[in-house]
A and B are shown apart, each in its own frame.
Chain A
Amino acid sequence: MMRTLAFVLGGVGAAGLAAVLAISGTPTQAQQQAKATADSTTAPAIVDTGSLKGPRQPIFFRHDIHAGQLKMQCQYCHYSVAVSTEPGIPSMQTCMGCHLVVSGSDSSAKTEIKKVRDAWNAKQPVEWVRVHFLARHAHFPHQRHIKALGPSACTTCHGDVARMPQVFKVNNVNNMGFCVTCHLERNVSRDCSVCHY
């Protein structure tokens, strides 16, 4: 199955290119090139946030800056993904660990970081909009998948979040076919009761 999901970055980035990212299947040569380019550059400046894919979040938190440009490990924030069924959402304190000091290099970053600080000072946690849902009757133990696939396996389901200014759903993780395809490829359990109970 070859599914190409693309999004166009609004405005002109540092490299001035419209990146087309293949998320699943074998990457084409062009995509590999784009990946290489993205790896070696800073995350693009974004002017038109309205055209970004995925739900708009209360704070324009950029995974492409944190995980991509700054190369922070996913597990720095999603701290429990390797030990628990739940990946964990960073506490506000985790954000403030850096943003007490880091206040942003441009006006848009400064605006967003100020929101984090304001929330922290007001003791009001940010209410993020959930992107990935799994039905209540399906249980997905994150830790087993990290154990089996390695710490960078997040992309397998969540796509290349390190290049997403705003997270959007790349794979319909709530579609059992998506799970089973992978389990078939790897010849691991397809027993219903592994996930459904």
Chain B
Amino acid sequence: MSDDSSQAGMDRRKFLTVLGASGGGALALSGCSTSRVEKLVPYLVQSEDQIPGIATWYASTCTECSAGCGVHVRTREGRAVKLEGNPEHPVNRGKLCSRGQASLQGLYNPGRIKAPMARGADGRLAEITWDDAIARLAGKLTAAGGKVAVLSGAGRGTFSELLADWTGALGGRLVRWEPFDHEPLRAANRQVFGLDQLPAHDFASAKYILSFGADFLETWLSPTENQRGFADAHGFAQGDVARFVHVGPRQDLTGLNADEWLAVSPGTETVVALAIANVVAAAGGAPAALVGALAKYTPAMAAQETGIPAARIERIAHEFAAAKPSLAVAGGIGAQHAGATELCAAVNLLNFVAGNVGHTVRFGADLAAGDGYHALAQLGTAMGGGQVSVLIVHEANPVYALPRAAGFADRLKKVPFKVAISPFLDETAALCDLLLPPHHALERWDDAAPRAGVRSLMQPVMEPVYTTRAAGDILLATARKAGGALARFNAPSWEAHLRGRWQALAAERKEADADAFWHAALQRGGVFDEPPTPAAVTLAPTATQVSYTRPAFEGKGNYVFAAYPHGMLHDGRGANKPWLLEVADPVTKITWNSWVEVGPEAARALNVRNGEILRLTSPHGTLEAPAYIHPGLHPDVVAMPIGYGHTEYGAFAQGRGVNALDLLGAPAGEFVTYVSTRVAVEKTGDYRKLATVEGTPRQLGRGIAEAIPLAAARKGLTLAEAYLQEGHPEHELNTPLEVQALKGWSEKQFEMTRKGDYARTTPQWGMAIDLARCTGCQACVTACYAENNIPTVGEYDILKGREMTWMRIERYWEGGEEPGVPPSARFVPMLCQHCANAPCEPVCPVYAAYHTADGLNGQVYNRCVGTRYCANNCPYKVRYFNWYKYNEIAWPEPLQLQLNPDVTVRARGVMEKCTFCIQRIRGAQNQARLEDRPIRDGEFTTACAQACPSDAIVFGDTGDPESRVVAIKQDPRGYRVLEDLNTRSAITYLAKVLHSVEA
């Protein structure tokens, strides 16, 4: 939704201050739910805010990672059906990543623990009542005599405060931990700036971005916010384009968006950062001590360590220094080896000498983080030493997310009484004695303080799916039962406690009316202050203690093993959500199972092809997985995503692939080193076809994902003009005579096909997609799955090419084959092009595929007899056939509750495809008709355009000359895919802008 229409959008979204829970928990009728309704069951008491058939929206906060994005939850007839970003929220500004959207599948996950459970004498878990469960916990806590520990994955907020007080009252210890906790970055910030903080990063205003391994578009700090900023900086806007250089051993999604890649072996990123800092510092302005400290890290030294020519490093350093402001970031697998703190310190200095601190690197924002692995390791030691009698694990899964060699499971077993406050039966919960299932974030009151100036609220958007309780209520009920030291936690309920905290907050902020403050915050999604002025930062005395230790990796193998977080599954927490398993990994396009990446050189050396199973052996274990040849991988490295190989965690996750962490040793330092061992790689001789949704990995001259050099784009040249200017001979393009002849033919052909069409007075829907902004993140794909009830078909059917992804991101490799041509990739969102001259339409024998009056390529499910002629004739491969009764099997109970009641769930034998979210078009038309007005531009948009964190997709009426989509379609970079087929598609792509070295 565009900014200019936010007012209109807000009309649609009714926010409630109080959940309208009906007394008897009765569900409302629904005219169009998933199973045939034979009874109409009324509400006992109708909430005034619930109108059947009209969505009710609630503001809440995403809890899928620590970024704390604001969400709007769409509910229909009392159940949540979709998550979208909250446009008012300062973190994500209306956008939401795939993982955030898939939070819905956590709510309705079949693997949720349905009621409290306790391990009986026979060692099996059996359901018990909540009263019994609370009594058991209270009893154990009373008897523990302070030997209590709590491990929590909760972010900063009122619950965390309560948990800390509660644990403190028991005399216990609290560890707040989540994987990838940015420990090296915080350590480096302490060392260089004396600040134990995570700063905010302003990608949007950076004119030059240097990333040392940081996967800031995927998992690093605040991915949605980063992506929005990155698209603003790196997209082509008024000729101003930031250059982005990626330094690291692997091109992840972030790396594939870079204009230049410095392929360095793991651990040597540091010396590159120091050399660049050295050049920038020497240019002047930096404190002498710093210049001295950096002096020995010359580009020549870096060249020696990395094999990157010194001149190249110097060039980048000069470019970096010249662009003001610039931004350097370190993270991802760049900051997950033993020398990670050195790297982060080097990058801190680089930002400092380039004058970025206080501009693009903003301390004072104080992003939330946990206590770090160090605290968890200490807890583990205490557990192993018998100093913990009762351990409560709250929403954390260390048994899976730590390397097995760290021995957490064994230490856990030494704790006499283990309690899991976990919504899912994960690896950790499976070892516990008492399971207390908490409410999902969408079922409870809560708040989050992900950074300074942001206090974000959560509210229950529906009745709980199962017999669960808010974790806060579990603490308070236990306190009531146990009494003693806990007696002071006497709030009648968690909600009351939270309200009390917000009353205090209102008083702190000198709000006159605490209730009005609360209601306004609830409506808005929280209280959002202006971002704090960046704290004045000075160098700490230890800042000059920069160092570079040549990396050393454990073991003897030929390859360094890099385990990296999967873009969809993160640390493995996404592995129970079918959307995240089915929406492919953005780099490899592999779904549902593990793979191991090898570089092209390694593949040649090993004589391995895609799908051949490799055995990796490290000093700590052996894993087997099919190979995927990744053109953007350093020759010395093999890489594997983290997130698969669960032994528990529900039917979707269990027994799927291997856990990459099994090859790692016990973390030796303050953080988990995901790049720490060498592995020996050998072929097993077995083969397993990769379940990839990729077709042909390269464009082969088809001109699907076009690009234009920056200089040509600045001049406003079209693709053809730029092509000629590059020195290509004119005869490769059509001559003016040929163009004229083709035009005549195509017009005639188009006229023939239009016979019988409606008069075109209605809107003509169309779309523009800016490939200079698109990063390939696939938030749009997940949004499409959510909006359009697209079934996930599973690995077996994907292997047969039966995926149903109405929208997909095609990733085409460029270069990387011959020496001197570095590998890169282009991403192009591919969906039904809604061709005005559609090849699918005339071949349908039953007129199921036809052209609507408003310019859509319609697909009438009830006409379709499943000949599949249309799919055969579609040059874009965007039509998908229901081979099975996915409508019955794709959403196991209670996952079917996520279905959008506005969209038909297709049955077996029916062809389906992107509809341009026709249900949204019709909904907007219905509303406009009620108000006797035409549809306003930007009043609604498609699910993909709404979700896109880069704002790359714009949808609208191409018949309205004032519309935003028409303005964008006139960009000289515009082209239509396979235009020469005369399909006259409704989607205009704007070519990617290549910011190559020469530009």
> How near does chain B come to A83, taking the closest CB pair, in angstroms?
7
- Asked if B44 and A128 sit within 8 Å, CB to CB, the answer is no
- Asked if A136 and B32 sit within 8 Å, CB to CB, the answer is yes
Contacts of A193 in B (CB 8 A): 852, 856, 858, 860, 915, 918
**Counting CB contacts under 8 A, is B980 at the interface?**
no
- Asked if A91 and B43 sit within 8 Å, CB to CB, the answer is yes
Alpha-carbon separation in the docked complex, A27 to B509 (Å) = 71
- Asked if A191 and B853 sit within 8 Å, CB to CB, the answer is yes
Contacts of B28 in A (CB 8 A): 89
**Counting CB contacts under 8 A, is B606 at the interface?**
no
Contacts of B31 in A (CB 8 A): 85-86, 134, 140
Alpha-carbon separation in the docked complex, A89 to B52 (Å) = 9
> How near does chain B come to A183, taking the closest CB pair, in angstroms?
14
Contacts of B905 in A (CB 8 A): 136
Alpha-carbon separation in the docked complex, A86 to B923 (Å) = 13
Contacts of A191 in B (CB 8 A): 758, 852-853, 858
> How near does chain A come to B404, taking the closest CB pair, in angstroms?
48
**Counting CB contacts under 8 A, is A94 at the interface?**
yes
Q: A92-B45, A141-B926, A197-B919 are in contact. Are A130 and B38 (CB under 8 A)?
A: yes
- Asked if A136 and B904 sit within 8 Å, CB to CB, the answer is yes
Q: A85-B31, A141-B922, A191-B758 are in contact. Are A92 and B43 (CB under 8 A)?
A: yes
> How near does chain B come to A101, taking the closest CB pair, in angstroms?
18
**Counting CB contacts under 8 A, is A135 at the interface?**
yes
The segment from A4-12, A33-41, A64-72, A119-127 found at the interface with B is A119-127
**Counting CB contacts under 8 A, is A147 at the interface?**
yes
- Asked if B929 and A147 sit within 8 Å, CB to CB, the answer is yes
- Asked if B860 and A189 sit within 8 Å, CB to CB, the answer is no
Q: Which residue of B lies closest to A127 (CB)?
A: B39
Contacts of A140 in B (CB 8 A): 31
- Asked if A189 and B853 sit within 8 Å, CB to CB, the answer is yes
Alpha-carbon separation in the docked complex, A83 to B51 (Å) = 9
- Asked if A93 and B904 sit within 8 Å, CB to CB, the answer is no
Chain B 822-858 per-residue mask, 1 if CB under 8 angstroms from chain A, else 0: 0000000000000000000000000000101100101
Within residues 60 to 112 of chain A, which ones have a CB less than 8 A from any CB in chain B? 80, 83-94
- Asked if B42 and A85 sit within 8 Å, CB to CB, the answer is no
**Counting CB contacts under 8 A, is B54 at the interface?**
yes
Within residues 20 to 57 of chain B, which ones have a CB less than 8 A from any CB in chain A? 22-24, 26, 28-32, 34, 36-46, 51-54
**Counting CB contacts under 8 A, is B409 at the interface?**
no
Within residues 129 to 149 of chain B, which ones have a CB less than 8 A from any CB in chain A? none
A87, A125, A127, A197: which contacts B918 (Cβ < 8 A)?
A197
**Counting CB contacts under 8 A, is B862 at the interface?**
yes
Contacts of B860 in A (CB 8 A): 192-193, 196
**Counting CB contacts under 8 A, is B863 at the interface?**
yes
Alpha-carbon separation in the docked complex, A141 to B904 (Å) = 15
> How near does chain A come to B251, taking the closest CB pair, in angstroms?
40
> How near does chain A come to B921, taking the closest CB pair, in angstroms?
9
**Counting CB contacts under 8 A, is A14 at the interface?**
no
**Counting CB contacts under 8 A, is A139 at the interface?**
yes
- Asked if A129 and B39 sit within 8 Å, CB to CB, the answer is yes
**Counting CB contacts under 8 A, is A143 at the interface?**
yes
Contacts of A196 in B (CB 8 A): 860-863, 904
Alpha-carbon separation in the docked complex, A83 to B53 (Å) = 9
Q: Which residue of A lies closest to B857 (CB)?
A: A193
Contacts of B51 in A (CB 8 A): 80, 83-84, 86, 88
Contacts of A123 in B (CB 8 A): 23-24, 44
Contacts of A94 in B (CB 8 A): 46
B32, B54, B850, B853: which contacts A80 (Cβ < 8 A)?
B54
Q: A86-B31, A139-B922, A193-B856 are in contact. Are A130 and B37 (CB under 8 A)?
A: yes
Q: A143-B926, A144-B926, A147-B929 are in contact. Are A89 and B42 (CB under 8 A)?
A: yes
Q: Which residue of B lies closest to A189 (CB)?
A: B853
- Asked if A125 and B52 sit within 8 Å, CB to CB, the answer is no
Alpha-carbon separation in the docked complex, A120 to B42 (Å) = 11
- Asked if A130 and B915 sit within 8 Å, CB to CB, the answer is no
> How near does chain A come to B893, taking the closest CB pair, in angstroms?
19
- Asked if A137 and B52 sit within 8 Å, CB to CB, the answer is no
Q: Which residue of A lies closest to B902 (CB)?
A: A139
Alpha-carbon separation in the docked complex, A197 to B26 (Å) = 29
Contacts of B43 in A (CB 8 A): 91-93, 125
- Asked if B42 and A128 sit within 8 Å, CB to CB, the answer is yes
**Counting CB contacts under 8 A, is B935 at the interface?**
no
Within residues 80 to 128 of chain B, which ones have a CB less than 8 A from any CB in chain A? none
Q: Which residue of A lies closest to B906 (CB)?
A: A137
> How near does chain A come to B146, taking the closest CB pair, in angstroms?
45
Alpha-carbon separation in the docked complex, A89 to B77 (Å) = 12
Give the residue among A83, A91, A126, A144 with the most B Cβ atoms within 10 A.
Answer: A91
**Counting CB contacts under 8 A, is B930 at the interface?**
yes
**Counting CB contacts under 8 A, is B651 at the interface?**
no
- Asked if B44 and A120 sit within 8 Å, CB to CB, the answer is yes
> How near does chain A come to B787, taking the closest CB pair, in angstroms?
12
Within residues 148 to 197 of chain A, which ones have a CB less than 8 A from any CB in chain B? 189, 191-194, 196-197
Contacts of B915 in A (CB 8 A): 193, 197
Contacts of A194 in B (CB 8 A): 922
B39, B46, B903, B930: which contacts A93 (Cβ < 8 A)?
B46
B24, B37, B52: which contacts A84 (Cβ < 8 A)?
B52
Residues of B within 8 A of A (CB): 22-24, 26, 28-32, 34, 36-46, 51-54, 758, 850, 852-853, 856, 858, 860-863, 902-905, 915, 918-919, 922, 926, 929-930
- Known contacts A144-B926, A197-B903; 20 additional CB pairs below 8 A are A80-B51, A84-B53, A85-B53, A86-B29, A89-B42, A90-B46, A91-B22, A92-B42, A93-B45, A125-B42, A125-B43, A128-B40, A130-B37, A130-B39, A136-B36, A139-B919, A139-B922, A189-B853, A192-B852, A192-B858
30 contacts between A and B (CB under 8 A): A80-B52, A80-B54, A83-B51, A83-B54, A84-B54, A85-B31, A86-B29, A89-B40, A90-B46, A91-B42, A92-B42, A93-B46, A125-B26, A127-B40, A129-B39, A129-B40, A130-B38, A134-B32, A137-B861, A137-B862, A139-B32, A139-B922, A141-B926, A191-B858, A192-B850, A192-B852, A192-B858, A192-B860, A196-B860, A196-B861
10 closest Cβ pairs, A-B complex? A86-B53, A84-B53, A91-B46, A86-B52, A91-B43, A85-B53, A193-B858, A123-B24, A127-B39, A128-B40
